[in-house]
Each structure stands twice: as C-alpha cells, then as structure tokens.
Amino acid sequence: MKATKPSERFFATVNPATGETLERYPLLEARALDRILEAAAGAQRAWAQSRFEERAQGLRAAAELLRRRASAWAELMAREMGKPLKQGVAEAEKCAWACEFFAERAPRWLAPQPVDTGSGKSFVAFRPLGVILAIMPWNYPFWQVFRCAAPALAAGNGVLLKHAPNVTGCALAIEKIFREAGFPPDVFRTLVIDERQAARVIRDPRVRGVSLTGSVRAGRAVAKIAGQALKKTVLELGGSDPYVVLDDADLEHAAQVCVAARLVNSGQSCIAAKRWIVVKARRAAFEEAALARLKAQRVGDPHDPATTVGPLARADLRDQLHRQVRGSIEAGARCVLGGAPLTSRGFYYPVTLLTQVGPGMPAYGEELFGPVAVLIEAADERDALRIANDSAYGLGGAVFTADRARGERLAAERIEAGAVFVNQQVVSDPRLPFGGIKDSGLGRELSEFGLREFVNIKSVSVA
C-alpha cells in the first residue's frame, strides 16, 4: 500500500477498468479512532460472554445477506478491483459458506476438553483473546475478511478491519452486513486508516492480536510492531506456488487445471499456479496443450459475461508485473504469448506465457501477481522437486501424476508448503487449515486450527 502523506487525509477508490475515480473516503481522525477502539473493547467484553447460539445466529444471518445480495457485492468488487462478475458472485457465496461452517462447528471445537490428570477435575478451556485487528488485501476483498472474521467472531472476539485503500467501499459494505445480521454495532468495525495509524492500533493495549494477509514487506513490518507489543499474529504473505507435472500425468487434465489455477482472479491470487514445473519428457506436449487454453482466454471488461480475465487492480501493479516480465525476458526467458500491457483504457495486462525460465530471473524467484504463466523444465522427478522447493515461499503447491500413492507421498513428504493438492487446483476451504511456511508466513486460518489461533487455550484444574 502506498504510504499516505499527512496532507492526504482520504483514500480514493479507482475503477481499474477505466481509470476513473469512484469515491473519496476521509481517514479517521485520532479522537474518532480512539472512540472506536474503546467502544470495540467494551463490545467485545460483552460478546465474549454471549452464548454460542447467539453468535451462530448472527453468522447465519450474515450468510443469508451475502447470498441474497451476491450480485450487488459482485458489482462492488468489479468496480473497485476489477473482478469479473461471475467470480464476485462466487466469492460472496463462499463467504456465506464460511459463516455457516463456523456457526455449525465452532461450538464443538470450542467446547471444554476434559483431561485425566489423576486428581480432581481438569480440562482445557478455549476463551476469546479480545479485539483482533484484521489487515486485509484487495484481491479477494470479501473472502479475505470473512476468512478471518467468521472464526474470530464465532470464538467471541471482536474484529477491527483495516482494509486495502482501493477497496474501501467493500470494507464499509462488510461492516453493514454484520450490523444488518444483528451483531452488536461495535463488535465488527471498519477503520479507514493509513499505515501509520495501523501501527498505533497494533500497539494499543485494547487490541490483542493481528491477522494480516499481504506482502512479505508488510508482514515483516507488522510482525516487528506486534512482537514489540507481544501481540499474537497470523501472517499470510503470498506465494509462488509450484505445480509439478510428472512423466505419467494426464496432460490434458494437468494443462486445464494449471491454466485455470494460474488465471484465477485474473492471476491475482496468493495460491495461483505461479510456476509450472514439467519434466523434460512431457514439457513440449504440456506447453502445446496449455498454450491453446491460454489463447482461448478473453481479457476485458469485468462486467462482460464473456470475460475470463479482468484488469489488474491498480496501475502500479500492472507496471510492476510488466517490469518483472521484461526483466525475465532480458535475462533469457522466452515470451511465447503476450508480454506487453494492452493499450486500451484501464489497467489491463495480456495473458502471457514465459518459457526457458531459470534462476536469477524475476519469473523464477519472485511472486508474479497477474495473468503471467511461467513454464520451467525439469530433468526428472527429483529435479522437479528441487525446483519446486527452490523458493523463498511455501504457501501451496500441486503435483500431477497417474499414480495416486506417488502423488500423496510427494505432497505429504517432499513439497515444502502449507498445502499441497494432487491432480487438482489449490484452494482455500473452510474445512482445511490455510497458511504457509518460510516467507509465506506463519499461523493458520480456517478449520479447527484457524479457529483456535485467536483464543486463550486455558488449563483449568479443580482439586
């Protein structure tokens, strides 16, 4: 996020399909921010004492609002960050699923667990930590928030949202959803604040934890501040997911999944298939199959039902992606498709394929956020695994093979990532923990593991 100068006391949202300014939102002044922090702390203390049934009722009501108005939320996402409408509807519906999932599962996962210590009564209780600051990115402006907020609220925490500036409208809409769903007014609040103010909120004793999804730079900055204040953090910092295609893989299926996984959300996803690693014996055939699918994509207006790839969310993101592509080509990569920004109005970048990619190139070692596919040839399985793990990131990954036992073994034991899928696209799923290792961050979201990240795991023993 661009740092805000003291004189710039507002955020402006811009339509990435046209470059036109949509709205200006004033930043919170210091006194207003303090009042919100105090109100949130008080509301959370009451919320922590609420019954699970009350929390579940609120989450189910939020799910109903998400589904009933999915088209409106999709329109908002399309305007603020360029997401194709069909994908925006799917995102809203996925948020509804997460709300319903935690409404159903949280009571069981947060119930006291008895422990036999040989004397008296002992058990483990799971109590809310307090108010959690959620610092969220623009690429999934609804899902990223609900992925954090649904389990946090189910556990009895309060949530303060500091969203990416370019999706401020989405951030305020989410606050309204929770209010309309019947949550106490200050249990979930959106803060229109800059980085300097966010640092102050992290340090504030009324905030007990921080969940951030964003860049490695942002993660390190937040971790430093939170560490000094001894605040619990969960950090999801992106990735450069390897999709490994082995010698016995079904190439048509692998190509279909790899292309879909690379272009999901117009390529702007932490768990997109950012590196296709294909063994030498199958590389040419895979490239041909994947190239045909890449050429069939349609880049265009996110409101057009035929569009599969929308604009990038901001002009600076498009420019950064192009620098990475050009730097890779200058270092020896071959551009098979695309490779130059489109001249139409808006922040569009063409579907691109780079081959002959190797160490030292941006396309090999950096995260490329956009519709740029990277094909890397490996000598054999061993070499493919070496390349897959030759990355600072460790968020997700996939392996394609006709031998399911082989795939399971490599996924579980050999590929260094927080999630590895066999013969399928990596996705975030409320039933599975989500998070990474290495520079992809720490901690987990979703599932039972994510639910318990922001609770006090308390031992209780009664003689």
Active site residues: 236, 270
CB atoms closer than 10 angstroms to residue 5? 8
CA distance 366 to 217: 13
Check if the beta carbon of residue 55 is closer than 8 Å to that of residue 149. no
Q: Are strands 352-355 and 334-337 parallel, antiparallel or unpaired?
A: antiparallel
CA distance 440 to 144: 16
Tell me which DSSP letter residue 160 carries: E
Of the candidates 195, 201, 145, 134, the residue with the CA atom closest to the CA atom of residue 170: 145
Token match 């199958």: residue? 282
CA distance 186 to 159: 9
CA distance 252 to 449: 35
CA distance 379 to 201: 50
Check if the beta carbon of residue 458 is closer than 8 Å to that of residue 155. no
CB atoms closer than 10 angstroms to residue 49? 9
CA distance 308 to 304: 9
What element of type H or E holds 91? helix 85-109
Of the candidates 120, 126, 200, 127, the residue with the CA atom closest to the CA atom of residue 160: 200
